[in-house]
Amino acid sequence: MGLFTGKKGLVLGVANDWSIGWAISNFILEQGGEIGFTHLPDKPDDDKQKNRRRVEKCIQGIDGAKFLVPLDVQDDEQIRNVMKTAEEHFGKIDFLLHSIAYADRTDLQNETIETSRDGFKMAMDISVYSLMAVCREARAVLNDNASVLTMSYYGGEKIVPRYNVMGICKAALEATMRYMAFELGPRGIRVNALSAGPLKTLAGSAAGVNDMMELYQHMSPLGRNVSHDEVGRAGAFLLSDLSNGITAEVLHIDGGYNAMGAPGRLMEQMIPKALAGRA
């Protein structure tokens, strides 16, 4: 028996096989879980169905992947339809992964102070409010003692240049997560966030996170970056019964980078260079 044998759930927001959502899903599927997936809707005139095909490529031939449907989290009716689909396939679900975030690329590339009003509203709606909307509509299909997980990043706690408006969104997302944990807590439903270090993902490249990888490698106590597999296992842990006593938490999986108050070993490289410059 696997860790997720007999467990059923929803994963919202996998974009492709580099997505953190897929790393978590893949581990759950290997451990016997059954999952219904959503994908970003394709445009009506897009015959290639790129968004759907990217996710289909991930789940093709996997028995535990039970369905794949489009989801625009700005549309409450679509959220309700996803929950109805989950109920038709599973009855009740044991876990829900919210792996959704978006900001206009122009707003990400500009200084945070230059973020447009409409861009700010859209980023907050998709990246933050969607967790609240999903939790609300999922209440009827979540089993008691189920687990909900969302994806955050350190840029919601501290300033990370180029993360910009998305850092503000992640701060709001973590606050939303805590309030959802309180309100769903009486049923034993846990709500947490996973804050992963930089990984090569579609979303990460747009937000400049990939540029942080070398810095994390030099500064983190482990002296390296984390892998997709490591993040996948950590996320699955928070969605499993092994974490039954944990809720309203942000779990960092970044090699310890978040604990550093100084450049650490990077300082050892910087000081000799600085001294050499004075000679």
Q: Decide: residue 106, CB within 10 A, 0-12 exposed, 13-18 middle, 19+ buried.
A: exposed
Q: Return the exposure string of 255-276: e unless at least 16 CB atoms fall within 10 Å of the residue's CB, then b.
A: bbbeebeeebebeeeeeeeeee
Backbone conformation region of residue 40, classed left if phi is above 0, alpha if psi is from -120 to 50, else beta: beta
163 is catalytic: yes
CA–CA separation, 245 and 70 (whole Å): 33
- H or E segment and range at residue 152: strand 142-152
- Cα separation of 53 and 62, whole Å? 15
One of 154, 163, 216, 257 is an active-site residue; which one? 163
257 is catalytic: no
Q: Are 89 and 2 in contact (CB under 8 A)?
A: no
Backbone angles phi, psi at 172, to 5 degrees: -70, -35
Q: Are strands 34-39 and 8-12 parallel, antiparallel or unpaired?
A: parallel
Which of 153, 154, 216, 257 is catalytic? The answer is: 153
> Known catalytic residues?
153, 163
